[in-house]
Amino acid sequence: MLRAFRDRLEAAPLPLRALVCAAVLKFLCVGFYLSWFTNGSDFALAHQAGSRVACGQGAHIYDEFLAYRPENENTMFFMYPPPVAVLYAPLGVLPFRAALTIFELLSLAALLSFFFIWARQRGWEPYSETYYLGFALILLFFPADYAFQLGQNDTIVLSLIALAWLWRKRPVLFGLALAVAIWLKLFVGFLLVYLLLRRRWREVLACAFWLAALAAVSLAFVPGSVQALYYSRLGLSLGIEAFYDNQSLTGFFYRLFTDSGYAKGLIDSPGLAHGMTILSSLLLAGGFAAVTLRRGDDEDRGGGWGLALVTALLLSPHSDTHHQVLLLIPLLLLLERRPVRTSTLLYYGFFAAFAPVVAFRFLAQDRLVFFASGLKSLAFAIPSLVLVGFWFHCAGSLGGARKIAKISAV
């Protein structure tokens, strides 16, 4: 297989060969090599929860989360739903370093699996120019590298969503793949809204069944009383909404209209920030519904599916850089359309290579203070604003831009 890949690549145009070689080397250096030296800060939280479940201490997986208050300095705690702790239990029985190594291998394999799953379901001819280009674009995507370095499961979620789309004619498998993806990243549940709008009842019911089944299994490991406390606490403000890597609508408005440990906004008005978040979220959800319903009953080859993921990232209370791995789906869908618009390439380029933006936020803490007040804090919102622009770009590609303009004018 590798020899066939190499031999057919030799016949490809020189720019494409250069791109593929650069992507492979970058993936091996940044994605594979550096992932072995990460401290797995985010994975450590899931590993701790999985270990507690494996040791029969499931009642304590939320001790730190339930004890947290906004004035606390340590904001690192496990706050995923109970089924996630159960899913991590097999890794929890292993020592942390061994578990992290296995998890990194699974995450790397998930990204490569996504390529093969996607190529199959989109009908890419093996070793064609489209095949090589897609391979390069996936390996060059920076949010995936960032997920590896943090020990996040976003590439696994990405491959599960691709599997769900591949199995859309097989509701049981579709529902299982999507349900696991939703438990791992709750905001992915917005895909159910898309399915409801498209009246795909079998898929919705299958996913709901598996969501309930996994939740029921978790009750055997995490007591119902603890789960009730967790879900009641989940809807409350945690004081981390203005975190400078939160690129959702929530992060944008809370940085602009509140004073916190992350940024000093124009004014300190949490009520205004909350109200603006709700209003903009309702407008965004309404725009998504208008575009989706306008599509009619024809199969859109996944365009609405991709728009739903972009919408979910904006609506989620917390949407970090590593979550944007899921943007690979709408970006690849757009890059399949002919002719490919230059603006699509610019959006891909931004999300694939905005490492300097992330470095600015996390590595230059002494200079970060200068940009953490007033209008200067908008420097943190560059990805948020680009993501909003990309939403309109995706909606326009589905023929929804005119419809959205009419709604906005009313």
- Give CA torsion, residues 152, 155, 157, 163, to 10 deg: -160
What does the block give as tokens for 264?
């000093």
Reply yes or no: is the peptide bond before residue 339 cis, omega within 30 of 0: yes
What does the block give as tokens for 146?
């960032």
Residue 368, number of CB atoms within 10 A of its CB: 17
At 1, the pLDDT band (50, 70, 90 cuts) reads low
Taking alpha carbons only, the member of 153, 117, 152 closest to residue 138 is 117
At 356, the pLDDT band (50, 70, 90 cuts) reads low
pLDDT at site 205: 96
- Give CA torsion, residues 154, 160, 165, 166, to 10 deg: 130
Structural domain contains residue 83? no
What does the block give as tokens for 225?
């009383």
pLDDT digits (tens, 9 = 90+) for 238-271: 778 888 888 999 999 998 998 887 788 888 898 9
Q: What is the mean pLDDT of residues 203-207?
A: 95
CA 25 to chain centre: 24
Which residues make Cβ contacts (< 8 Å) with residue 410, sequence separation at least 6? none
- What span, in angstroms and rounded, lies between the C-alpha atoms of 77 and 258? 23
Structural domain contains residue 405? yes
Residue 362, number of CB atoms within 10 A of its CB: 12
pLDDT at site 2: 72
DSSP state at residue 290: H
At 186, the pLDDT band (50, 70, 90 cuts) reads very high
Residue for token digits 């989620």? 316
Which residues make Cβ contacts (< 8 Å) with residue 270, sequence separation at least 6? 237, 254, 257, 258
Answer yes or no: is pLDDT of 125 > 50.
yes
Structural domain contains residue 241? yes
- What span, in angstroms and rounded, lies between the C-alpha atoms of 252 and 276? 10
Q: How many residues does the chain have?
A: 410
Domain count along the chain: 1
Domain range for 206? 2-36+96-409
Task: State if pTM tops 0.85.
Answer: yes
Asked if residues 182 and 189 have their Cβ atoms less than 8 Å apart, the reply is yes
What percent of the residues of the chain are helix, what percent strand, and what percent coil, each to the nearest 5?
75, 0, 25
Structural domain contains residue 60? no
Reduced to 3 states, what is the DSSP secondary structure of residue 259?
Answer: strand
- The helix/strand count (H/E) of the chain reads as 23, 0
Asked if residues 92 and 51 have their Cβ atoms less than 8 Å apart, the reply is yes
Structural domain contains residue 260? yes
List residues bridging with 264 in a β-sheet: 259, 373
- Give CA torsion, residues 48, 239, 192, 146, to 10 deg: -60
pLDDT digits (tens, 9 = 90+) for 129-158: 889 999 999 999 999 998 998 899 999 999
Structural domain contains residue 77? no
Structural domain contains residue 223? yes
Answer yes or no: is pLDDT of 293 > 90.
no
Taking alpha carbons only, the member of 290, 55, 8, 45 closest to residue 153 is 45
Structural domain contains residue 49? no
